[in-house]
């Protein structure tokens, strides 16, 4: 697949992108919120407003329970959001949740077989020990079975954000583990995930798959979707979305994402004030 350049948000014409976008997708950890932490109120309020203007998707390697904790229990979001315009796609898009009849429902899921989940966990532990990244001190589970995805977190699922960000700043440790595990499991997809994680899922199901599925369900082209993420480098788990053909926006963290969201809100508000139709705002 051809290489894609995902530019920083400061190098993009966000006004032009906002005028032609019919949906905006986001990574979660270190994009909408810091790892495993709820969104700050200013981000929550801005994201809620965006859901009243267009279709919004959140696609992340985390479990649905994390979406609940980081998004759906933040009052600044839930008090203002238009849930029918919100699409939740946890475990890198291997599951899809939609709001209908007053509740969230799982519309699809692509779980790994028990044999594949067991093989992935064995390979991750064995190679992590061999490579010296099986850390002695951790905060919580190292290897988590998410059904549709097996996730290795070098410092544990509950590690402090600062420790996570300092552990592998150049991604060398995660990439070495990813390569070793991928050699064991050629029929599965192994990707570098968050700051300390490596994910294993069914081949062909990643954030690229997620944005293509979402575009088809919403009746739009993938190219009409913006996707914002902090891991848009070729080894990052947001990169498949860029390769799928979205308008990619690279950020370094939630502070930059908030600037992007506010810019898009301004563009879409302006379209409505001018008598234009805000993209799919009432879908």
170: domain CATH number?
3.30.1240.20
Residue 33, SS3? strand
Contacts (Cβ under 8 Å, ≥6 apart) of 101: none
Residues 174 and 259 grouped into a single domain: no
Q: Is residue 279 part of a domain?
A: no
Please indicate, yes or no, if residue 188 is contained in any of the structural domains: yes
Q: Does 281 map to a domain?
A: no
Quick: pLDDT tens for 54-88: 999 999 988 899 999 999 999 999 999 999 999 99
- Structural domain span for residue 121: 114-202
Is 118 part of a structural domain of the chain? Answer: yes
Residues 43 and 121 in one domain: no
> Residue 139 falls within a domain, yes or no?
yes
Q: How many other C-beta atoms lie within 10 A of the C-beta of residue 250?
A: 25
Total tally of structural domains belonging to the chain: 2
- pTM of the model as a whole: 0.84
Q: For residues 7 and 37, what is the distance between their CA atoms, to the nearest angstrom?
A: 26
The helix (H) or strand (E) run that includes residue 269 is helix 254-273
Mean pLDDT across the chain: 92
pLDDT tier, 103 (very low <50, low <70, confident <90, very high otherwise): very high
243 and 119 within one domain: no
Q: Are residues 129 and 73 in the same domain?
A: no
Does 278 map to a domain? no
* Domain CATH number, residue 73: 3.40.50.1000
Q: How far apart are CA 124 and CA 134, in angstroms?
A: 10
Residues 180 and 156 both lie in one domain = yes
Residue 1 lies in a domain: no
Local confidence band at 195 (pLDDT 50, 70, 90 cut-offs): confident
Residue of 234 and 11 predicted with greater confidence: 11
Looking at the fold, whether 91 and 211 belong to one and the same domain comes out as: yes
Neighbouring residues of 37: CB distance < 8 A, sequence distance ≥ 6 = 70, 161
Residue 14 contacts residue 263 (beta carbons within 8 Å): yes
């Amino acid at each position: 697949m051809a290489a894609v350049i995902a530019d920083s948000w400061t190098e993009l014409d966000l006004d032009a992108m906002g005028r032609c976008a019919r949906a905006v997708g986001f990574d979660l950890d270190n994009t909408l919120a810091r790892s495993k932490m709820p969104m700050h109120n200013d981000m929550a309020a801005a994201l809620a407003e965006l859901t009243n203007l267009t279709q919004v998707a959140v696609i992340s390697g985390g479990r649905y329970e994390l979406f609940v904790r980081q998004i759906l229990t933040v009052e600044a979001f839930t008090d203002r959001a238009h849930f029918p315009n919100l699409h939740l796609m946890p475990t890198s898009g291997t599951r899809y949740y939609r709001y209908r009849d007053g509740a969230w429902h799982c519309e699809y899921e692509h779980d790994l077989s028990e044999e594949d989940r067991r093989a992935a966990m064995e390979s991750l532990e064995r190679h992590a020990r061999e490579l010296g990244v099986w850390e002695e001190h951790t905060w919580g589970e190292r290897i988590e079975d998410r059904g549709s995805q097996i996730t290795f977190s070098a410092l544990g699922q509950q590690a402090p954000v600062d420790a996570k960000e300092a552990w592998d700043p150049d991604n060398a440790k995660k990439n070495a583990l990813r390569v070793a595990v991928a050699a064991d499991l050629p029929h599965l997809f192994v990707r570098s995930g968050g700051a300390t994680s490596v994910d294993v899922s069914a081949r062909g199901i990643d954030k690229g798959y997620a944005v293509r599925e979402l575009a088809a369900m919403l009746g739009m082209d993938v190219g009409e979707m913006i996707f914002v993420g902090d891991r848009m480098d070729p080894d990052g788990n947001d990169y498949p979305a860029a390769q799928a053909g979205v308008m990619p926006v690279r950020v370094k963290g939630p502070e930059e994402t908030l600037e992007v969201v506010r810019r898009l809100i301004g563009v879409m508000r302006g379209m409505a004030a001018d008598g234009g139709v805000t993209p799919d705002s009432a879908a």
